[in-house]
Amino acid sequence: QARPSKDWLIHVRTARARNQIHRWIRQEEAERSISLGHEIVERELRRRRLALPSDEAVERAAATLSVGEADGLYRAVGSGDVPMGQVIRALFPDQGAEDLQPPKPTVVGRMLDRFRLGRGVRIQGVDGLMVRYAQCCQPVPGDPVVGYVTRGRGISIHRADCPNLLTVPDGSERRVEIDWQHQEGEVFVVCLGVSGEDRRGLYADLMGAVSGTGTNIKKVDLNTKDGAMFGTVLVEVENQTHLTKVMRAMHRVKGVTSVDRRELASRMSNADQGM
């Protein structure tokens, strides 16, 4: 059954229909935020070795944080509007700060915890309301990934080795371990850097190599200087295996000396930071 989406707003003609679609989208976003908030709170409680609070405790915490009732608390957490540290303190007001801190795990224990907790939240396309793929590092299925809880924009998905995450500590409440749940037919844009020796027909051969893998080319920006060729190619791939196939095909072209994956941005955007 078809569900309303933001694209429908382009086609509706009446204010009533437009308002109904807006109302449905807001409700859908709120429900997803609540579900995500449950996941994040439960994960954080496990990480800190804390028991699940009673319904009454959640209601009191919601009142303390001025977010309405229990669902309001989970919605605020899911949308990144309330820091988890404040939520934990509101849930357990009678416990000391030291008791609420997570125990210091061993290296092996930390790896096991990260694996277990990583099974809870999975990447799913949700009409752009809750999950965004970071443009700086352009993750694709098969890449190790990390979720970054932004303020009011859901989760931004980054490659685990993204330089923009170096300033976010592993134990940060805004960092979420996640797994891929790739949907058939979904494609991801990746920027590839290419360099080599300039020659006649190199451009055509390079484009032919990419097209030969069944890959769509979004944009090409190649330059030459002093007999050298360099630039970038934006391609659409389904996963890491597909990406590797494209890169190998490009590397086999005569004259090409290097093909590497590039980042589109040198730093995290304000949207990804949740500012």
pLDDT in tens, 20-71: 645 665 667 778 788 888 888 888 888 778 888 899 999 999 999 999 899 9
Question: At 159, is the pLDDT very low, low, confident or very high (cuts 50, 70, 90)?
Answer: confident
Residue 115's nearest CA partner among 49, 43, 177, 38 is 177
pLDDT category of residue 169 using cuts at 50, 70 and 90: low
CA dihedral (172, 173, 174, 175) positive or negative = positive
State the average pLDDT over residues 3-21.
51
- Does the structure show a pLDDT above 60 at 98? yes
Kindly provide the b/e burial profile for residues 69-97, where b requires at least 16 CB atoms within 10 angstroms of the residue's own CB.
Answer: ebbbbbbbbbbbbbebeebbbbbbeeeee
What percentage of the chain exceeds 70 in pLDDT? Answer: 69
Per-position b or e across 158-196, b if 16+ CB within 10 A of its CB: bbeebebbeebeeeebbebbbebebeeeeebbbbbebbb
CB 202 within 8 A of CB 143: no
Supply the pTM of this predicted model. Answer: 0.49
Greatest mean pLDDT range, 87-91, 98-102, 183-187? 87-91
**Largest separation between any pair of C-alpha atoms in the chain:** 75
Collapsed DSSP state (helix, strand, coil) of residue 187? coil
Question: Could you count the other beta carbons within 10 Å of the beta carbon of residue 51?
Answer: 8
Question: What is the CATH number that goes with domain 188-262?
Answer: 3.30.70.260
| H or E, element range at 197 | strand 188-197
Q: Which burial class, exposed, middle or buried, applies to 134 when counting CB atoms under 10 A from its CB (0-12, 13-18, 19+)? A: buried
Domain layout of the chain by residue ranges: 6-97, 119-184, 188-262
**pLDDT, position 151:** 64
Confidence check: pLDDT of 173 > 70: no
- Within 83-173, strands assigned E span 121-122, 131-133, 145-149, 155-159
